[in-house]
């Protein structure tokens, strides 16, 4: 039987085109003063607590295989060394995309994938090719969002413009949104993998009479409901691309996971609007997100948090030297206003990066990130709500 | 690129012409940098003798079509080679010609006859950022600009010509830039400054971007 199976698969195996690429990111870090969210603090940056140190922050490997001309497989594994050492699967999917000799083309993806929110993160490990730290929007997408299910895409490809539509049914993302409510936004490249347990702020854990450190898995299915997203994009040659996405995890806000430490379901929905254009070698990106997340764990308590964020990025996309600058703005607002000590935040960030790519396998990036934020949750720790913090990084990415 | 025309053939085809001239066309972008792969078409009185149909090859190497632009006459054929270790799935849905072929590593397609004029964009359905352009034209004289942005036409019969330029990075839907010039005993030259869009091909040295 095994021999027969091998014989049947042999032609497929011979024909397969397999590409394996790995990456290693090492950093010299000038940490921000406030304790990082990755260590249970309320700091907005990946590295906090002050001081300077060197770390190999992450590594990973990406597998791509052409199983048949229309069938591709993709998976990425990562190792993260911030907050807690952890190896995890970032994404894994199969894509069927038959060739079309008409302007119409369709495809289907099955597996676990990032919802197509980000315009930034098209590099290995869902990182940004322009900066070390992702925008507030995409830092959150990388931490808490993953679609596990099926996604269909169709494209109409004209001479001047291409129009694309996407629709997906996904599951296992019911706690998504909790970080925005319990901790707020971050400016970071700490991406979660399937099975990752992200950390709540210690201030939140103590407020909820929970032991510190408090972690949860954002990729759980609690209620058996399917979530969905739908989007459209329009690209005009020489002008740019505009894309709109609606996401709703359809989580039952009264549901929770089973077990001794149940994880609540957060009903999270948002709109995301993005635009991309290019002037010569300079790429211009802009994204905005507006949504809400809500829980109703008992008939006597329900809470709802509105969240908004946006960024503008300009970066050179050719040549060995690639500078980039990005401005972020973000806010959250917990409702109803009658909640005692309701949590709110607002802030902005400036990221300036210079990338040097002397070889195809090497990227050296210097980045300065300054975050100004007001979050009243800091007062629970006896800290002022207003913070100004700066994180400096010199990053070395080796691709092999 | 230099396009030659035997003096005898020119005499036969354009009997009223007694002198011949050279036309030197330089194509640059708006910053003055040479525009490689521009297709320069020359229309005027007469035409060189028709040549036999030929077969031209487009290679695929490092997930890049080589060349980026190739010029064909109606009736010419194209063959796609695959010099990579990965399969490619070349296709086109252009009105002038639609086709699709899966090409194994080291393999090639059968010849495809390009019988209609027009621009044929060709992609790979596996590696979406690969692109090449087949430009099929019946213009009397035609050439592709070289690395210095030059296309030279030798021994044009004396007369007035209209010269137009096409480039894959011109904004689609716009008329091709066009200039008129008199060609006589002395060498004539023309310069085109084109508002080129960004090159859509990926940076071959960028191994960091996802490929599929």
Any chain B CB within 8 A of the CB of A11?
Answer: no
Any chain A CB within 8 A of the CB of B101?
Answer: no
Q: What is the mean pLDDT of chain A?
A: 93
Answer yes or no: do A66 and B87 touch at CB < 8 A: yes
Which residues lie closer than 8 Å to A77 by C-beta, 6 or more apart?
A60, A61, A87, A88, A89, A90, A193
Residue in chain B closest to A104 (alpha carbons) equals B93
Any chain A CB within 8 A of the CB of B60?
Answer: no
Answer yes or no: do A129 and B208 touch at CB < 8 A: yes
Residues of CATH 2.60.40.420 domain(s) within chain B?
Answer: 55-136
Any chain A CB within 8 A of the CB of B175?
Answer: no
Strand order in the sheet with B39-43: B141-144, B39-43, B159-166, B178-183
This prediction's pTM: 0.90
> Does residue A9 sit within a domain?
no
> Does residue A71 sit within a domain?
yes
pLDDT at B211: 64
The DSSP letter of residue B33 is: -
Chain B residues with CB under 8 Å of A95 CB are 212
Residue in chain A closest to B171 (alpha carbons) equals A238
- Of A21, A69, A397, which has the smallest distance from its Cβ to B125's Cβ? A69
Q: Which helix (H) or strand (E) holds B12?
A: helix B7-13
pLDDT at A381: 86
pLDDT at A392: 98
Alpha carbons A311 and A133: distance in angstroms, whole number: 13
Chain A residues with CB under 8 Å of B125 CB are 69-70, 97-100
pLDDT at A84: 78
CATH code, A83: 2.40.160.10
- Of A69, A99, A399, which has the smallest distance from its Cβ to B87's Cβ? A69
Alpha carbons A379 and A300: distance in angstroms, whole number: 26
Q: Where are the beta strands (DSSP E) in chain B?
A: 2-3, 20-29, 39-43, 55-61, 64-66, 69-72, 77-80, 88-94, 97-103, 112-113, 118-124, 131-136, 141-144, 150-157, 159-166, 178-183, 188-194
- Of B102, B208, B212, which has the smallest distance from its Cβ to A123's Cβ? B208
pLDDT at B200: 87
* CATH classification for the domain delimited by B55-136, as one of 3.40.1080.10, 2.60.40.420, 3.30.200.20, 3.40.640.10: 2.60.40.420
Structure tokens, A141? 């997408």
pLDDT digits (tens, 9 = 90+) for A249-280: 999 999 999 888 899 999 999 999 999 999 88
- Of A69, A123, A157, which has the smallest distance from its Cβ to B89's Cβ? A69
Stretch 180-239 of chain A: residues touching chain B, C-beta under 8 Å = 237-238
pLDDT tens over chain B, length 212 residues: 555 443 333 333 333 344 678 999 999 999 999 999 999 999 997 788 888 999 999 999 989 999 999 999 999 999 999 999 899 999 999 999 999 999 999 999 999 999 999 999 999 999 999 999 999 999 999 999 999 999 999 889 999 999 999 999 999 888 999 999 999 877 899 999 999 998 888 887 788 887 66
> Does residue A105 sit within a domain?
yes
Any chain A CB within 8 A of the CB of B174?
Answer: no
Residues of chain A with pLDDT under 50: 1-16
pLDDT digits (tens, 9 = 90+) for A301-326: 899 999 999 999 999 988 899 999 99
Any chain A CB within 8 A of the CB of B205?
Answer: yes
Answer yes or no: do A101 and B92 touch at CB < 8 A: yes
pLDDT at A140: 98
What is the number of domains present in chain A? 1
**Three-class secondary structure assignment of chain A:** CHHHHHHHHHHHHHHCEEEEEEEEEEEEEECCCCCEHHHCCCECECCCCCCEEEEEEEEEEEEEEEEECCEEEEEEEEEECCCCCEEEEEEEEEEECCCCCCCEEEEEEEEEECCCCCCCCCEHHHECCCCCCCCHHHHHHHHHCCEEEEEEEEEEECCCEEEEEEEEEEECCCCCCHHHHHCCCCECCCCCCECCCEECCHHHHHHCCCCCCCEECCCCCCCCCCEEEEEEEEEECCCEEEEEEEEECCCCCCCECCCCCCCECCEEEEEEEEEEEEECCEEEEEEEEEEEEEEEEECCEEEEEEEEEEEEEEEECCCCEEEEEEEEEEEEEEECCCCCCCCEEEEEEEEEEEEEEEECCEEEEEEEEEEEEEEHHHHHHCCCCEEEEEEEEEEEEEEC
């Amino acid at each position: 039987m095994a021999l027969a199976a091998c014989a049947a698969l042999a032609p497929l195996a011979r024909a397969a085109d397999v590409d394996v690429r790995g990456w290693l990111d090492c950093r010299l870090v000038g940490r921000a003063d406030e304790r990082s969210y990755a260590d249970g603090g309320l700091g907005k940056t990946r590295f906090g607590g002050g001081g300077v140190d060197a770390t190999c922050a992450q590594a990973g490997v990406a597998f791509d295989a052409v199983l048949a001309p229309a069938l591709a497989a993709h998976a990425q594994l990562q190792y993260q060394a911030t907050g807690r050492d952890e190896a995890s699967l970032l994404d894994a999917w199969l894509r069927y995309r038959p060739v079309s000799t008409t302007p119409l083309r369709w495809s289907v993806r099955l597996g676990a994938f990032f919802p197509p929110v980000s315009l930034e993160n098209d590099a290995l490990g869902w990182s940004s090719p322009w900066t070390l730290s992702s925008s507030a929007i995409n830092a959150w997408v990388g931490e808490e969002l993953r679609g596990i299910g099926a996604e269909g895409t169709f494209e109409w490809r004209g001479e001047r413009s291409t129009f694309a539509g996407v629709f997906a049914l996904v599951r296992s993302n019911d706690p998504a949104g909790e970080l925005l409510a319990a901790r707020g936004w971050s400016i970071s490249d700490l991406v979660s993998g399937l099975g990752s347990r992200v950390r709540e702020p210690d201030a939140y854990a103590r407020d909820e009479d929970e032991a510190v450190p408090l972690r949860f898995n954002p990729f759980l299915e609690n209620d058996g409901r399917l979530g969905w997203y739908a989007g459209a994009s329009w690209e005009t040659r020489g002008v740019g691309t505009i894309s709109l996405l609606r996401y709703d995890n359809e989580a039952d806000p009264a549901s929770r996971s089973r077990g001794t430490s149940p994880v609540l379901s957060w009903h999270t929905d948002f709109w995301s609007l993005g635009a991309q254009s290019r002037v010569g070698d300079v790429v211009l990106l802009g994204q905005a997100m507006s949504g809400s997340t809500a829980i109703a764990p008992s008939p006597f308590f329900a809470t709802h948090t509105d969240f908004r964020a946006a960024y503008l990025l300009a970066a050179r996309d050719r040549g060995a030297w690639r500078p980039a600058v990005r401005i972020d703005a973000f806010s959250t607002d917990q409702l109803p206003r009658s909640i005692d000590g309701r949590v709110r935040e607002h802030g902005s960030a400036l990221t300036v990066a210079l990338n040097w790519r002397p070889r195809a396998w090497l990227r050296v990036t210097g980045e300065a990130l300054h975050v100004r934020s007001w979050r009243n949750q800091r007062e629970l720790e006896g800290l002022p709500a207003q913070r100004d913090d700066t994180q400096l990084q010199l990053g070395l990415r080796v691709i092999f | 690129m230099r396009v030659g025309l035997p003096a005898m053939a020119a005499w036969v085809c354009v009997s009223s012409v007694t002198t011949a001239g050279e036309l030197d066309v330089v194509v640059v972008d708006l910053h003055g940098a040479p525009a490689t792969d521009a297709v320069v078409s020359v229309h005027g009185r007469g035409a060189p003798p028709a040549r036999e149909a030929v077969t031209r090859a487009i290679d695929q190497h490092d997930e890049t079509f080589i060349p980026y632009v190739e010029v064909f006459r109606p009736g010419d054929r194209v063959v796609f080679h695959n010099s990579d270790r990965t399969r490619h799935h070349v296709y086109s849905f252009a009105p002038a010609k639609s086709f699709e072929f899966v090409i194994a590593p080291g393999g090639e397609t059968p010849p495809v006859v390009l019988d209609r004029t027009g621009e044929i964009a060709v992609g790979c359905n596996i590696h979406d950022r690969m692109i090449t352009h087949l430009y099929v034209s019946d213009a009397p004289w035609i050439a592709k600009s070289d690395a210095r942005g030059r296309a030279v036409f030798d021994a044009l019969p004396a007369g007035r010509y209209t010269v137009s330029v096409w480039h894959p990075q011109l904004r689609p839907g716009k008329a091709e830039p066009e200039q008129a010039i008199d060609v006589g005993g002395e060498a004539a030259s023309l310069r085109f400054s084109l508002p080129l869009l960004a090159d859509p091909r990926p940076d071959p040295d960028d191994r960091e971007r996802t490929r599929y």
